Amino acid sequence: MKTISLVVMIMFFVSGCASIFHGTKDTIYVRSEEPDTQFYVNNRDIGKGTSANTTISKDTIDLAVLRAEKKGCNTKSTRIETQFDALTLLGVLIDFGIISILFIDWAATGAVTRAAQTDYILTPDCPKTPAADQNKI
């Protein structure tokens, strides 16, 4: 009986509420109104076209910068905004937050924060050509 209790307690303490319910990664989607846009997150290529997506670990998401580039156009970039994940506070009910919040959700997994927004529109600023303007008339 002691062994079962010990195993249950260990399983209970090695997971934080935010990491259980929202995971330890966020999927970020980025779109552009310009075709053939090249998308990057922290200088890592994540795709080309009018949309791309990537999965970012929550312990590094607050450092992530999205970038959209196209040859002949001005690059657009933005930092991924983060917010506190309130589900982390449920750890107070488990162990007063000592293990589940401080060690698991905050230090080990970063699940104490999450992306405030998961969909971004980043369109490179391309100069308009006279021929393109004439086609609209």
DSSP assignments along 68-91, one per residue: EE-TTSB-EEEEPPEEE-GGGGGH
What stretches of the chain show up as alpha helix (H) in DSSP?
2-13, 17-22, 91-95, 130-136
Predicted pLDDT of residue 17: 67
**pTM reported for the whole predicted model:** 0.77
**pLDDT computed for residue 30 by the predictor:** 97
Strand ranges (E), 24-128:
25-31, 37-41, 44-49, 51-57, 65-69, 76-79, 82-84, 113-115, 119-121
pLDDT of residue 15: 58
pLDDT in tens, the chain (137 residues): 777 665 555 555 555 667 777 888 999 999 999 999 999 999 999 999 999 999 999 999 989 999 999 999 999 999 999 999 888 888 887 778 787 777 777 777 888 899 999 999 999 999 987 655 555 55
The 10 Å CB-count burial string (b at 16+, else e) for 43-72 is: eeebeeeeebebebebbebeebebbbbbee
